[in-house]
Amino acid sequence: MSYQSLGLQIHLLSRQWRCLLDKQMACQGLTQSSGIALAYIAENQGVSQTELARLLAVETPSLVPVLDQLEKQGLIERRPSQQDRRLKALYLLPAATDLVAAINQQRRVLQQQLLANLSPQQQLELPHVLDLVLQQAAVLLQDQKTGDLS
């Protein structure tokens, strides 16, 4: 693999992952965006809309319609944040518990299918390698924000 193709490979993998998740989430009456949002809220009860958008790497205005739909479906609720009343904290409602379990199971199965051609050792190493790349990307982004581009 050349370094020139790394970005394209990451982009294509991300796109294909989202497409596969979209197909699986459709069976639950969700999109991959709403399914992933539900899973994050379940793991981070009380997360703010702004923080959830950051975790999902989307703009807050893009996330609002997804949250509106989840709230309309009776799966989440927004409450004023206890730390900052201007923020809305997100909570999973009991009606979503089984749905989130099904989403997480579908994600695990899809992950197993995607990694099926890797050796057990490669499967163990991949998350660590990806974490290292993500950490370095975060450092580079922070350096760009502070103006240190060396």
pTM of the model: 0.76
Question: Which tens digit of pLDDT belongs to each residue from 69-92?
Answer: 999 999 999 999 888 888 899 999
Q: How far apart are CA 25 and CA 17, in angstroms?
A: 12
Looking at domain 11-114, its CATH class is mainly alpha
Domain ranges of the chain: 11-114, 119-150
Residue 99 φ/ψ, nearest 5 degrees: -65, -45
Instruction: State the angle between helix axes of 32-43 and 49-56 in degrees (0 to 180), rounded to the nearest 10.
Output: 120
Question: Which tens digit of pLDDT belongs to each residue from 24-66?
Answer: 888 888 888 899 899 999 999 999 999 999 888 889 899 999 9
